[in-house]
Structure 1
Amino acid sequence: MIRLLDVAKEFGGPLARLRGERVRALNGISLEVPPGTAVGLVGPNGAGKSTLIRLLLGYIGPTRGGVQVGGMLPRDYAERHGIAYVPDRVSLPPSWTVRGALDAFAALGEVDQPKERVERWMRRLGLAEIARRRVAALSKGNLQRLALAQALLADRTVMIMDEGTDGLDPEWVARVRDILAEWRRADPQRVLVYASHDLEEVERVAERAIVLSEGRVREVIDLRGGGGPVPAYRLEVEGTDAGRRVEAAFPGALPVPGEAHAFRVEAGSPRDLTHRLQALLERGVVVRAIVPEAGTLRQRYRHGISSKASPAAKAEASTAGEKGGTA
């Protein structure tokens, strides 16, 4: 569905080139996103995520290499089929109302049954009660939900979200996650490109994560198993002789230093974890708590950036890992 071959993008004219002032935002990007895939875009500030998104939307063209969406140039694909897009910054005429904005987007997008679709997404995204409110009076969260509603009005095969849940509270982030899963189930060919600060949310939404740094792809991470580190957990238990029983259910379990009934354990998958916990319970051990360690994406993101990028990118990767996200 999406294909990039040796794509480079530079900004600046001929004089900037002579002066050595041209900025290379992307440098030799080659990617393929097949139909039915959700991919996350992660990376430090200046990694090239926004430039890549603009290329996919057809807003700009590459300096070198080829970009295709659905076998077509991105601009041609967007004009013929449309691309659902949630930008990182929502900018709308302040005098528009919520309903007026959605009516306008439905008309511009030639949406079938526009009134029904507008009503549906206003209800789903909690906008019906503020339908007559002007854009200038919207909170950041309401404005973000309006942007999500406009992206969902038409039946598109490709959706691109650039910090699409920024400004939403945890409840609405979870609701949007469910809506995206429903959107994908409605058509198995649909492709979601999801750029986010929140690495843990990327893990929940996407099957693959593309780690960008300094205009290059540093790593493509499979988030659904196969190639990543085995998930690790902190297990707290009660019961006599608990250590021996934990080790029987979780071979290789390591005691947490200074804590008599806490262990670091590993499980290859959620199903494997369930079976091992069941075996532990059958041995008479009371499980007090089990908490996952830092997610696979966060671990590999920090390792990939720190091992291959410049000192500035390494420092930002370390900060992102500590905060659980990235710019």
Structure 2
Amino acid sequence: MIRLEKVVKEFGGPLARLRGERVRALDGVTLHVPPGAAVGLVGPNGAGKSTIIRLLLGYLSPTAGGVQVGGMLPRDYAERRGVAYVPDRVALPPVWTVRGALQAFAALGEVERPADRIERVTRKLGLTELAGRRVAALSKGNLQRLAIAQALLGDRKVMVMDEGTDGLDPEWVARVREMLAEWRRADPERVLIYASHDLDEVERVADQAIILSEGKVREVVDLRGGGGPRPAYRLEVEGADCARRVAEAFPGALPVAGAAHAFRVEAGGARDLTRRLGTLIGAGAIVRAVTPEAGTLRERYQHGLARRTQGAARIAAALDAVGEGAVSVDAAEPEEGA
């Protein structure tokens, strides 16, 4: 569905090139996203996430390499098929109302049965009572929900979210997560591109995570890991005989050392976790908290950046030493994937 082949993107004109001031935002990025996949883009500021998104939307063209969406150039695909997009910054005319904004987006996107669609998304995103409110009067969270509502208006096969849950409270983050899962289930060929600094949320939403740094793909992390470890959680409960009840709902549960009524449990995903928690609550236990362990993505992301930071520091120290005439070294780049 989405293909990037050795994509380079530089910013700056001919004069900047002559002065050596051009900025290389992407440096040989190759990505293949098949139909039905949900891919997270993660990395520090300036890693290239937003540049990839703008290329996929057709706002930018690559300096070198190729970008295709559905076998077409991104701009052609967006014009013919449409792309659902939730930007990192929501900018709308402040005098528009919530309903007026959705009507405008429905018209621009040539959405069929717009009145029905608008009614459905306003109800789903909890915007019904705010339909007549002006954009200028919306809180950050309500404005973000409006952005998500407009993305769900059309029947699209590609959705791009850039910090799409920024500003939402935990309850709405969880509800949007379920909406995304529902959106994907409605069409097995739909593709979700989810860029975020929230690694735990990426791990819940995406099938794979692309770790970017300095415009390069450093690692691809499989978050569904066929045959890999199941997601683990810290579960805190109350109630009589809670250890037995936890063990019945979560076979293999282990007590957390030094914490009363806390257990380490595993589940096969969000639906399996919900089912097991339902069994536990039905047995009379009171669930105080469920917290995911630091997952594979967070561990590998932090480890990878730490290695690159250490490598850069060693290179800088070596170059300083060369400048002082102390030693002579070959300052190689840190190995790819570090």
SS where residue 197 of structure 1 aligns? Answer: coil
Displacement, 1:126?
1.0
Aligned position for 1:324: none
SS where residue 103 of structure 1 aligns? Answer: helix
CA deviation map 1:81-116 (0-9, x unaligned): 000000000001111111111101111110000111
Q: Does 1:33 align with 2:33?
A: yes
Q: Please say if residues 232 and 264 of structure 1, whose CA atoms lie closer than 8 Å, have aligned partners that are also in contact.
A: no
Q: Does 1:213 align with 2:213?
A: yes
Q: Look up the equivalent residue of 2:207 and give its one-letter code.
A: E
Q: Does 1:174 align with 2:174?
A: yes
Q: Report matched runs for 1:274-313 at 5 Å.
A: 292-308=292-308
Structure 1 residues 150, 235: closer, same or farther in 2, change over 3 A?
Answer: closer
Aligned position for 2:196: 196
Q: Report matched runs for 1:63-212 at 5 Å.
A: 63-212=63-212
Structure 1 residues 264, 17: closer, same or farther in 2, change over 3 A?
Answer: farther
Distance, in Å, in 2 between the alignment partners of 1:268 and 1:206 is 17
Structure 1 residues 78, 21: closer, same or farther in 2, change over 3 A?
Answer: same
Q: Please say if residues 157 and 189 of structure 1, whose CA atoms lie closer than 8 Å, have aligned partners that are also in contact.
A: yes
Q: Please say if residues 122 and 128 of structure 1, whose CA atoms lie closer than 8 Å, have aligned partners that are also in contact.
A: yes
| Structure 1 gap ranges (5+) | 240-248, 278-287, 314-327
Q: Look up the equivalent residue of 1:203 and give its one-letter code.
A: E
Displacement, 1:308?
3.5
TM-score when normalising by structure 2: 0.77
Displacement, 1:305?
2.2
Q: Look up the equivalent residue of 1:102 and give its one-letter code.
A: L
| Structure 2 gap ranges (5+) | 242-250, 277-286, 314-338
Distance, in Å, in 2 between the alignment partners of 1:234 and 1:131 is 40
Structure 1 residues 291, 117: closer, same or farther in 2, change over 3 A?
Answer: closer
TM-score when normalising by structure 1: 0.79
SS where residue 209 of structure 1 aligns? Answer: strand
SS where residue 36 of structure 2 aligns? Answer: coil
Q: Report matched runs for 1:253-268 at 5 Å.
A: 259=258
Displacement, 1:304?
2.2
Distance, in Å, in 2 between the alignment partners of 1:126 and 1:266 is 33
Distance, in Å, in 2 between the alignment partners of 1:131 and 1:290 is 35
Q: Please say if residues 235 and 265 of structure 2, whose CA atoms lie closer than 8 Å, have aligned partners that are also in contact.
A: no
Distance, in Å, in 1 between the alignment partners of 2:290 and 2:124 is 34
The list of structure 1 runs, each at least 4 consecutive aligned residues, that deviate by more than 4 angstroms after superposition, is 226-239, 253-256, 259-271, 288-292, 309-313
Distance, in Å, in 2 between the alignment partners of 1:184 and 1:56 is 19
Q: Does 1:23 align with 2:26?
A: no
Structure 1 residues 16, 104: closer, same or farther in 2, change over 3 A?
Answer: same
Q: Look up the equivalent residue of 1:71 and give its one-letter code.
A: G
Percent identity, aligned pairs only? 73
Displacement, 1:120?
1.0
CA deviation map 1:256-307 (0-9, x unaligned): 5xx4989997979579x99xx9xxxxxxxxxx99965311111111122222
Distance, in Å, in 1 between the alignment partners of 2:310 and 2:157 is 37
Structure 1 residues 17, 109: closer, same or farther in 2, change over 3 A?
Answer: same
Structure 1 residues 116, 254: closer, same or farther in 2, change over 3 A?
Answer: closer
